[in-house]
Chain A
Amino acid sequence: MIEIQNLSKSFGENLVWENIKFDISDGETLAIIGKSGCGKSVLLKHLNALLYPDKGEVVIDGYKLFELSYAELRKIRQKFGILFQGGALFDSINTFENVAFPLRYFTDLGELEIRKKVEKALEMVNLVGSGDKPTSALSGGMRKRVGLARAIILEPEYLLYDEPTSGLDPQTSDEINDLIVYMSEQLEITSIVITHDMHSVLQIAEKVVFLDQKKLSWQGTIEEMKSSTDESLLGFIKASEYQI
C-alpha cells in the first residue's frame, strides 16, 4: 500500500503543489490527471524518492520513504518498476540487453534463464524478435513497450507509468492501454498512471486523482468522476474533448 501524506514541493520560489494526500491500495490502478506542467511527473518521482518533498511523507508498505537510509531506499525501490515518458532506455546497449539489465544486476540467473525471461517479457509487449535491435532503431511506441518490458522483468509490486500514451497514435495508445490493463489484471500489480489522456483513464483506471491550481483538486472512483459536478474537473474533461 502507498500512502501520500500532506506532500508539498517547490522548486526555488515556484510552488509545484501543496498538501497532496491520497492512498493507493494493493492491486488498484490509479490515474493521476491534470494539465501539462501541473506537476504530475514531479509527484510520480516522489513515489520512489527520485525527488524529495519540502514537507510531507510517502509511506510504502509501512516504510517512511524519506526517512530511510540510501541502502534501505534501494531495497524499497526494487519493489517498483517505472515506465518513463521517453522510455529512458540505455542507448549504449541493444533492446535485449536493456530488458535483461535488471536481471544481470539483481539476480544470480544464468544466461539461459535470462534469455528465457527476456524473451517472455518481449513477447508480453508484442516485440518478439526485436531483441537485437539498437534502441535508436525503435519507434516511440516500441521504446515505451521495451521500457515496460524492462519495468516488469523483476516482477515488481508497483508499476509507475509516466505519460504512457503521449506522442503515440491512437492505435498504438490502445495497445499500450491494453498492456497496462493486462499487467494489472494478470500480474496483479498496483499501478499508478500519469496521464492527461481521458480515453486512457477510462480504459485503465479504477481511481482518479486530479491535480489543479497547485493542489489535489479532486479524487474518486471512475464512477464518481462520471457523475461529478466539480467544475475544474469537468472543465479539464471538456477541454480534453472527451465525453463521459
Chain B
Amino acid sequence: MEAIRQLGQYATLLYHALRSILEFSTYRKNLFQEFVKIGYESIPIIMLTGVFTGAVLTLQTAYQLDTDIYPASIVGSIVGQSIIIELAAVIGALVLAGKVGARISTEIGTMRVSEQIDALESMGLNSVTFLVIPRVLSGIFMFPVLYVIAAVTGILGGLLAGSLDGILPAAEFMQGAREFFFPEDVIFGVVKSFVFGFVITSISSFKGYYASGGAEGVGNATTQATVLSCIYVLLSDFVLAALLL
C-alpha cells in the first residue's frame, strides 16, 4: 500500500514538473548551476571509473582467453564493445547514483526540513519548477555526455593496461576494438544513459522533496534515493536491453 502511495506521489511530482517546464525563467539559473554540478564536477570520478573498468576488464579478458585459438586483438574487441554497450553506462550510472543522487536528495531534503521549500512556496514560487526541473533536465542532458567520457576513458584504460602488462600492443588492441565497433552500440549506450539520468535525478529529487523528520529523515531519504536509484538503473538496463537489442 505504501509503495502504491509513493508511486502516486512520484507520478504527481513528475506531472507538476512537466506542467511547468515552460516556466524557463524560474529555473534558468539553477539549470546552469546543475549542469556544472552534475556534469562538469562528475568528470573526474567518471574518468577514474572508466579507466579502471577498462583496465580490469582487459586483464580479466586476456586471462580468460589465454589460448592460441583466438587472435590477441579479440581482447580489444570484447573490451571495446562491452564498455560501449554496457559498462560505461551502467557502472557510470551506479557511481553517479551515489555522487549525484545522494547530493540531490540531501540538498532538497534539507531544504524541506528547514522550511526553505515552504519559504519558496509562500513567496508564490513553484518549488517543483525551481528545484526539481533543473536537476532532472541536467541529468537527462549530462549523463549521455558523461557516458561518452566513460566509454572513451574505459577503452583508453583497457589499451593502457594491455600494453603496459605486455598482453597485447596498443595497435592490436585498437584494431580489435575497431573491428567490432558499431555506431548503433553507441546510440544504445546514449539512450541508456539518458534514461539512467532521468531515473537517478527524478527519484532523488522525489525522495528529497518529500523528506520529513529532521536530520534522520534526510538521512533516510538519501539512503532510499541511492538504493532505489541503483535498483531502477539495473531494472531499466534490463528492460532497454530486452527492447532495443
Chain A residues packing against B (C-beta within 8 Å): 45, 48, 50, 70, 74-75, 77-78, 80, 82, 84-86, 88-91, 101-102, 105-106, 154
Q: How far is the CA of A196 from the CA of B33 in the complex (A)?
A: 41
The 4 lowest CB-CB distance pairs between A and B, nearest first, are: A88-B119, A88-B115, A78-B124, A74-B124
User: Given the complex of chains A and B, what is the CA–CA distance between A224 and B119 in angstroms?
Assistant: 34
- What are the residues of chain A within 8 A of B175 when measuring CB–CB? none
Question: Are A88 and B124 interface neighbours, CB within 8 A?
Answer: no
Inside 8 A of A101's CB, which chain B residues have their CB? 123
Q: Are A82 and B124 in contact (CB under 8 A)?
A: no
| Contact of A86 (CB < 8 Å), options: B114, B122, B125 | B114
**B26 on interface, CB distance cutoff 8 Å:** yes
Instruction: Judge if B179 is at the interface, Cβ distance under 8 Å.
Output: no
**Residue B116, interface by CB 8 Å:** yes
Assembled-state Cα–Cα distance A64/B121 (Å): 18
In the bound complex, residues from chain A placing their C-beta under 8 Å from that of B122 are 48, 50, 77, 80, 82
Binary interface profile of B, 127-164, with partner A (CB < 8 Å = 1, else 0)?
00000000000000000000000000000000000000
Is B118 positioned at the interface, with any CB of A under 8 Å from its CB?
yes
Asked whether, in the complex, the Cβ of A102 is within 8 Å of the Cβ of B118, the reply is no
Q: Does residue B223 face the partner (Cβ distance < 8 Å to A)? A: no
- The smallest C-beta distance from A158 to any residue of chain B, in angstroms, reads 11
Contact yes or no, B123 A102, CB < 8 A = yes
* Complex alpha-carbon distance, A43 and B111, angstroms: 21
- Return the contact of B26 from the options A70, A90, A105, A154 (Cβ within 8 A): A105
With A84-B115, A85-B115 as given contacts, are A50 and B123 in contact (CB-CB < 8 Å)? no
Please give the distance in Å from A117's CB to the nearest CB on chain B: 15
**CB atoms of B124 and A77 under 8 A apart:** yes
- Tell me if B121 and A88 are in contact (CB < 8 A): no
How far apart are the CA atoms of A85 and B115 in the complex, in Å?
Answer: 9
Check A50 against B121 for contact (C-beta < 8 Å): yes
Which B residues touch A102, using CB under 8 A? 123
Could you tell me if B123 and A88 are in contact, using CB atoms closer than 8 angstroms? no
